[in-house]
Amino acid sequence: MTLSRSALRLIAAVVVFLVAAVAVTLLVLPGGGNGEDRAPSEPGAAPSEPPRRPVVVVKVDNVEQARPQAGLSAADKVYVEPVEGGLTRLAAVYASRLPEAVGPVRSARETDIALVRQFGRPVLAYSGGAPEIEPLLKRAPITLVTDKTRPGAYFRGGDRPIPHNLYVRPQQLPGQQREREPTPVTRPGAAPEGGTPVEARAVNFRDARYRFTWSAADDRWRISFNGSPLTTREAGRVTAGTVVVQRVAVREGRQVRDSGGQLSPVAGTVGRGEATILRDGTAFDGTWSRPSPEDPTTYRTRGGQRVPVAEGPVWVLLTPR
């Protein structure tokens, strides 16, 4: 039987309609289409990862008028930075838990720009900076928060004179909703073989003296500063699970001077150098390495074995070579 041209056209139209209908059905059924903007179809499929809280870094005063500080006991890491006149200032890093208040809060330094880049896009809470470094801070991938830009997150204490009485409430900083997961900044692990048992280690800057004494009862290093126990208002004696003496190159900053005319030093935290890692009552002499500002710092023995940190807070002292 020979079909007429009109019959052939009708059959072709029906075939095209059926093919189109099948395609539409595949797109709307579970598993159809390209998978974009579609919930997982298989039972038990993992949902997308919840948003994480950005890491918070707070610049903390460390002169005599500022002690005892608030909030140091809750920090995951504390960096000790050299500043003008041979003094030191602290950069307290918060990720796993947020204390009610941290301070006294002081100004940022050029050292902080590269130092905090290893934490993604962190929130840097500080009380301002020298005009020479403010443009550098603003160009960096850092969320900058001062008492001028977010006054509701800060308050003044009534027991100390300005500038040693400014505190910040970390929970009120950007992105710190409690339902968000924390961003880990330390990865504890077992110590390698070897090392040298030590009971105490002193680390001296030109006008700041630290001492770390191993306490088997606490399973921590007890910290002293300028001959006295370092304490916090909320938790008493400050301790650390790991102490890193990280020897770094220090250069003069961009003509930033203190009130006495002394230049502000800049500690280099990208590159490599020598380090001593104290953990578990043992000292490991070795090296530190950080290839780029986005990379974390890794520590190894002289034989090349990685030295992970112990459980508990980590204190890193950026000491001049």
When pLDDT is averaged across residues 104-109 and rounded to a whole number, the result is 95
CB–CB of 163/59 below 8 Å? no
Distance CA 113, CA 117 (A): 7
Of 299, 308, 242, 252, residue with least CA distance to 273:
299
CB–CB of 195/286 below 8 Å? no
Q: How confident is the model at residue 258 (pLDDT cuts 50, 70, 90)?
A: low
Residue 110: pLDDT over 80 = yes
Structure token pair of residue 97: 């838990």
When pLDDT is averaged across residues 28-38 and rounded to a whole number, the result is 34
pLDDT in tens, 114-157: 999 999 999 999 998 778 888 999 999 999 999 999 999 999 99
Alpha carbon distances (Å) from 209 to 36, 41, 62, 232: 58, 61, 12, 18
Residue 163: asked if its preceding bond is cis (omega within 30°), the reply is yes
Mean pLDDT score of the chain: 85
pTM for the complete prediction? 0.83
Residue 68: asked if its preceding bond is cis (omega within 30°), the reply is yes
CB–CB of 144/121 below 8 Å? no
Least confident stretch, 182-186, 252-256, 273-277:
252-256
CB–CB of 121/54 below 8 Å? yes
pLDDT in tens, 177-204: 776 788 889 999 999 999 999 999 999 9
Structure token pair of residue 214: 């191993």
Tokens 């380090």 map to which residue?
275
3-state secondary structure 53-106: CCCEEEEECCCHHHCCEECHHHCCEEEEEECHHHCEEEEEEECCCCCCCEECEC
